[in-house]
Every structure is written in C-alpha cells, then in structure tokens.
Structure 1
C-alpha cells in the first residue's frame, strides 16, 4: 500500500522527494520512505498492562475531633446580608 507517495512533477521528469527524507536516530542516519507505516497510525489511547502490580495500601489516617464544638456557627446570616447591602448602597457615587 502506498498511502503517502510524495512526488513533485517537473517539466522534464518526475522528481521523487522521498530520497530527501532523513531519519536522525542518535548517531545513525537512514532514509525514510513515506509509505512505510502510514497505515499503522491511530488515535492516542490508554495502555494497560497485562499483569497488574500491587496497589498502594489504603490510607488509614483518620482525623480525630478534639473538642465538642465541631460545627461552625454562622450566626444571623440575614443580618449580615442586610449590613453588606446597606454599606454598598451608602457608598458615595462619583
């Protein structure tokens, strides 16, 4: 299969641009043919191992309550909202 056979048409002859492709692999050089592995391309996906390794141990740390008042008391919320709105409305306007 020749999926990506790159060729440029000249006036006199056909010039094959595959000869100009060079693969830089550490200290070695090699020519790359564009039709070699074009059909093997695909979308990226997760790779799962055939054998699973031992999982990490479950977290056994617990948070201990020190005092008997563990709730956060918010008080009179309606009063707080009214106070904020009153302060915003009473700001001087430019």
Structure 2
C-alpha cells in the first residue's frame, strides 16, 4: 500500500541503534513498513530517544547512513557520534 506514494519526508522510529549505526527493531512487520517508508521518501527523518542508543533488537531495519535527519533528546556518544558525522546525518537534539 505505501509503495503507491512518494513523499517529501518520511518519519520512522526504531527500537535500537547499535554503535556502528545499525538501526534495529523487534517486529519484522514494522521493519517492512519502515523500509518501505525509507524507499519512498525523498528525505528520511528518524526520531529516537537516547535510551535507544546501543540498545539491541532482533531485526535489522537499515543503517543510519540512510537517514537524513536524526531527532533525539541527547547528544550521541562515541562511536555513534562519529558514525553520524561520517554518514552526513544531521542530528537535532531537543
């Protein structure tokens, strides 16, 4: 269903971000939806609380390099901070 649309901004959430920038979730169905949102969006935004940093989850969703803007509540620590910088991801702390 989502593949019918092409959007300017796609917003996703995740269950965990590993130190290497791997984005993970627990539910494969949610991962499929999020992957499709990434594919169909001109720009991808990720919203995740700092409690998700280095948190492990079972299903790989994507890599942080596929994200354009990352919204969170605290500055990521190394090595994730460097991964974001290397990937050119704009990090917004609110």
Tell me: higher relative CO, structure 1 or 2? Use CA pairs within 8 A at least 6 residues apart.
2
TM-score, normalising length: structure 2: 0.19
Name the one with the larger helix percent: 2
